[in-house]
Amino acid sequence: MVLVSGSGTILQALIDDPSDELNNVEIVAVGADRYGIEGLRRAEAEAIPIFVVPVQDYPSREDWDKALAGAIAEHSPDLVVSAGFMKIIGPQTLSTFPVVNTHPALLPQFPGAHAVADALTAGVEQTGCTVHFVDEGVDTGPVIEQVAVPIESGDDVDILHERIKVVERELLVKVVARLCSSGWSIDGRKVSFP
C-alpha cells in the first residue's frame, strides 16, 4: 500500500522498479488525501485500486485518522509506504499498520519540511536520505537505512533536492523489498532484519 499527496514520482519508482527487487511485492492500493493528483493517475494507469480520504471531510484529525485506518484496512496491506504523503499520520493508523517514510536528510539531522534548505543553511558537507518507520513524532521514528549525498559547490535547494531524490527512490525500493522479503524487528530505535 502506498500513500501519496502529489505527483507520485516515488510511487512510480516502486511501480517501475528497474532492479526487479520488488518482483514478489504487490502494491495492493494507493491512497491519497486529495483528489485530482498525478499520483492517483499513475496508480490508475497501472490498474492499482485507489482511495481518497480528504482531511477536510472529517470534523477532527482523530476522525480523519480513523477513516484513513479504515480505508487502508480494506486492502489488508502488510506494509504502508508514505511516498510524499504530506499529512501527519495519526495514532489509529500507526498502531494498526507499519508505515515507512523517506526523508531528504540523514535523520536525526534536519527533520521537518525544509530539510534540504536547512542542510544548505547549516553549511554541512553532506546530507542524504533516510528511510524510517513512522511514529507519532515528525521524522523521529526508527531509522531503517540511510545514504549520504555530498553537498557540492553551487548547490541550491532545487539542485540538491533533485540529487537526493535519485538516491531516495533507489533506497526506498531496496528497503521495501527487504522488509517484505525478510520481515524486521524493532528494539527501541534499532531496526533489525532476520
Q: Is residue 47 part of a domain?
A: yes
Q: Which residue is catalytic, options 103, 114, 132, 161? A: 103
Can you give the C-alpha Rg of the chain in angstroms?
16
Q: Quick one: which of 87, 92, 80, 99 has its CA closest to 27?
A: 80
DSSP conformation letters of the chain: -EEESSS-HHHHHHHH-TT-TTTT-----EEESSSS-HHHHHHHHTT--EEE--GGGSSSHHHHHHHHHHHHHTT--S-EEESS--S---HHHHHHS-EEEEESS-TTSS-STTHHHHHHHHT-SEEEEEEEE--SSSS-SPEEEEEEEE--TT--HHHHHHHHHHHHHHHHHHHHHHHHHH--EEETTEEE--
- Residues 105 and 187 reside in one and the same domain: yes
- For residue 19, what is its C-alpha cell? 532492479
Residues 56 and 128 in one domain: no
132 included as an active-site residue: no
Closest to 143 (Cα-Cα) out of 123, 115, 171: 171
Identify whether 137 is part of a domain.
no
Q: Is residue 53 part of a domain?
A: yes
CATH code of the domain in which 180 resides: 3.40.50.170
**70 plus 119 within the same structural domain:** no
Q: Are residues 150 and 71 in the same domain?
A: no
pTM: 0.94
Confirm whether 138 is domain-assigned. no
- Phi/psi at 153 (5° precision): -60, 130
pLDDT in tens, the chain (194 residues): 999 999 999 999 999 987 788 888 999 999 999 999 999 999 999 999 999 999 999 999 999 999 999 999 999 999 999 998 999 999 999 999 999 999 999 999 999 999 999 999 999 999 999 999 999 999 999 999 999 999 999 999 999 999 999 999 999 999 999 999 999 999 988 999 98
Residues 32 and 70 in one domain: yes
d(CA 28, CA 81): 11
Same domain assignment for residues 73 and 148:
no
Are 51 and 84 contained in the same domain? yes
Question: What is the domain count for the chain?
Answer: 2
pLDDT at 156: 98
Residue 17: per-residue pLDDT? 86
Q: What pLDDT is stored for residue 75 in this prediction? A: 98
Residue ending a domain, among 43, 73, 97, is: 97
Same domain (yes/no): 88, 109 = no
Of 42, 72, 97, the domain-final residue: 97
User: Hey, CA dihedral for 165, 17, 132, 193, is it positive or negative?
Assistant: negative
Q: Are residues 32 and 83 in the same domain?
A: yes
Same domain, 157 and 109: yes
Burial of 26 (0-12, 13-18, 19+ CB in 10 A): exposed
